Amino acid sequence: MTANMELRATAEAPGTFIEAVQQRLREDIVSGRLAPREKLRLAELKSRYEMGTSPLREALSRLVGEGLVTFESNKGYRVRGLSKEDLADIAYMRTAVETFAIRTAIERGGMEWESGIVGSLHALVALTEDTATDRASLDAWNVAHDRFHETLLSACGSSRVFETQRQLAEQHNRYRRIFMGDNLPRQLIIDEHRNIAEAALARDADRAAALLGRHMVVTSCFYAKVLAGEKLAPGSEPASSALE
Amino acid sequence: MTANMELRATAEAPGTFIEAVQQRLREDIVSGRLAPREKLRLAELKSRYEMGTSPLREALSRLVGEGLVTFESNKGYRVRGLSKEDLADIAYMRTAVETFAIRTAIERGGMEWESGIVGSLHALVALTEDTATDRASLDAWNVAHDRFHETLLSACGSSRVFETQRQLAEQHNRYRRIFMGDNLPRQLIIDEHRNIAEAALARDADRAAALLGRHMVVTSCFYAKVLAGEKLAPGSEPASSALE
DNA sequence: AACTTTATTATTGTCGACAAAATATGATAT
DNA sequence: ATATCATATTTTGTCGACAATAATAAAGTT
């Protein structure tokens, strides 16, 4: 079709431009390469991603559904803004969904669920202890962290819960990647996740739900402190705060 | 631009084709005029809604985000299918979100919240007692029902909870409008909502959450029975079941 | 007759151009 | 100088055409 046709085909990217650019945009937004509140002009995106308006608009529409992009009629698309209030809202919604779903998971979970928890916890602990601070290592940590929380609920059986959790985790990751660098409270992280895993494996639903809920609060408080001090992740321009 | 330009302008519809057709598609899907699992061919939609492919694709993308449409790469869009499992999943997700949010609403709700509950309950009870069975009356009932549940949570302050509740209610309404006609268990409906409202106004969070959760279960059971009997709403073709 | 394989058709995916709206620029008046 | 209005420019919204892929029909082979 166009010049980058076979270029794309040889790469790992999915078959259609829409999906390819959706993925690239998602990564560029979550990483902060596209700044919060940044206006996403079609002309700019066209040259940046080397494609026409149609796939771009459709990818942006989908990202609105994922909560990473906002849209205003006749004014176009923007990267979704960040704020303390929004961060709290993400944590609130996660708490609602996850404290409920973990109870079902504990009821229904079998052997594979248990081993999944043990395995993903092991990986998370290892990566948390490991003190690498480069971008790639931090990304790997995020993946392991997401995987643990996802595994915890994996036995609940609700596709809507999965989808919602995925999206909220991605939105959470954006805050982490933009504002926090490597300054993680390592021991706290390890302890909290280990305790949650223990309660889940012991089939203590009340305790697991309570610990998971408290985990959200604790994490939120830590984030809030970082945001208040406006420490930016390494590599971000420290100019003005990205918060609204 | 085209012939229906001023036609639209004189109507009540929003400024852009995308929003207009998104609204029409939504209504056509929820009402069942576009059947579950029906393939949404661009060519057909083009002539049906009298516009080009661009606004249609974008509207469809957004409806995917709302959970009313599904998409498969290179195979196009379809109206989302219906199934007993999906219906249960909607109820599950609603329970997770709403039983959590109502606790916050009870904590934070003020005078306006209380009067909102009283008002919307009054409207719901009146419309439930009223025995009209035509399409318009049932639609009005749906609106009142949604409004009551929305008002219940309105004081929780979470935009994500609002948005999720809106979408889930819409998906729930589709089942109601397609499968159930006027065969509502009126007294049960009135009692359940009245009890929930009472508990909320009495600031009894545990009781309100429990009643709301039970309400979801009871409603689901009723739906399941209707679906098992495959009673279709009046006006729908009773041919083969719309379930997967 | 059933099963590949090859054409044919239908449908989705992408592009570039143009119209409509919003934003920025500059001129004029008070 | 500030405010207001007209004008120019940028940006979004929409269309129709064409390319690429999938679905369907037809032909050929064992």
Residue B97 and residue A95: Cβ atoms within 8 Å?
no
- Distance of A154 CA from D20 C1′ (whole Å): 38
Residue B96 and residue A92: Cβ atoms within 8 Å?
no
Q: Which residues contact A187 (CB under 8 A, 6 or more apart)?
A: none
Chain A stretch 137-196, residues whose beta carbon is closer than 8 A to a beta carbon of chain B:
158-161, 164
Could you report the per-residue pLDDT of A89-105, keeping only the tens digit for each? 999 999 999 999 999 99
Which nucleotide lies closest to B54 by the C1' atom and the CA atom? D14
Residue B61 and residue A66: Cβ atoms within 8 Å?
no
Q: Chain A partners of B15 at a C-beta cutoff of 8 Å?
A: 73-74
Question: Using CA atoms, how far apart are residues B207 and B192, in angstroms rounded to an integer?
Answer: 12
Q: Which residues contact B112 (CB under 8 A, 6 or more apart)?
A: none
Residue A16 and residue B99: Cβ atoms within 8 Å?
no
Question: Using CA atoms, how far apart are residues B227 and B222, in angstroms rounded to an integer?
Answer: 9
- Consecutive 10-residue averages of pLDDT for chain B (244 residues): 35 76 97 95 96 96 97 96 94 97 96 97 93 85 96 97 97 91 86 96 96 93 81 59 72
pLDDT score at A21: 97
- Nearest by CB to A57, from B19, B58, B101: name it: B58
The string of DSSP letters for chain B reads --THHHHHHHSS--SSHHHHHHHHHHHHHHHTSS-TT-EE-HHHHHHHHTS-HHHHHHHHHHHHHHTSEEEETTTEEEEPPB-HHHHHHHHHHHHHHHHHHHHHHHHH--HHHHHHHHHHHHHHHHHHHS---SHHHHHHHHHHHHHHHHHHHGGG--HHHHHHHHHHHHHHHHHHHHH--S---HHHHHHHHHHHHHHHHTT-HHHHHHHHHHHHHHHHHHHHHHHHHTPPPTTS--SS-SB-
- Nearest by CB to A96, from B19, B57, B161: name it: B161
**In 3-state terms, what secondary structure has residue A77?**
strand
Chain A: residue whose CA lies nearest to B89: A158
Q: Is the CB of B122 under 7 A from strand C?
A: no
| Mean pLDDT, all residues of chain A | 89
pLDDT score at B160: 98
pLDDT score at B241: 66
pLDDT score at A143: 95
A103 touches chain B (CB under 8 A): no
The alpha carbon of residue A108 is apart from the nearest alpha carbon of chain B, in Å, by 15
Q: Which residues contact A202 (CB under 8 A, 6 or more apart)?
A: none
Q: Is the CB of A75 under 7 A from strand C?
A: yes
pLDDT score at B240: 56
Q: Is the CB of B40 under 7 A from strand C?
A: yes
Best residue of B8, B25, B92, B217 to probe chain A, by most A CBs closer than 10 Å = B92
pLDDT score at A223: 84
Residue A14 and residue B90: Cβ atoms within 8 Å?
no
Which nucleotide lies closest to B76 by the C1' atom and the CA atom? C12
- Nearest by CB to A159, from B54, B73, B89: name it: B89
Residues of chain A with pLDDT under 70: 1-14, 230-241
The alpha carbon of residue A97 is apart from the nearest alpha carbon of chain B, in Å, by 6
B57 touches chain A (CB under 8 A): yes
Q: Does the model's pTM come out above 0.85?
A: yes
- Distance of B47 CA from D25 C1′ (whole Å): 27
The amino acid occupying position B129 is E
pLDDT score at B91: 96
For residue A184, what are its two tokens?
A: 């993680």
Radius of gyration for chain B, computed over Cα atoms and rounded to the nearest angstrom: 19
Backbone torsions φ then ψ of A71, nearest 5 degrees: -140, 140
pLDDT score at B131: 72
Q: Chain A partners of B54 at a C-beta cutoff of 8 Å?
A: 54, 57
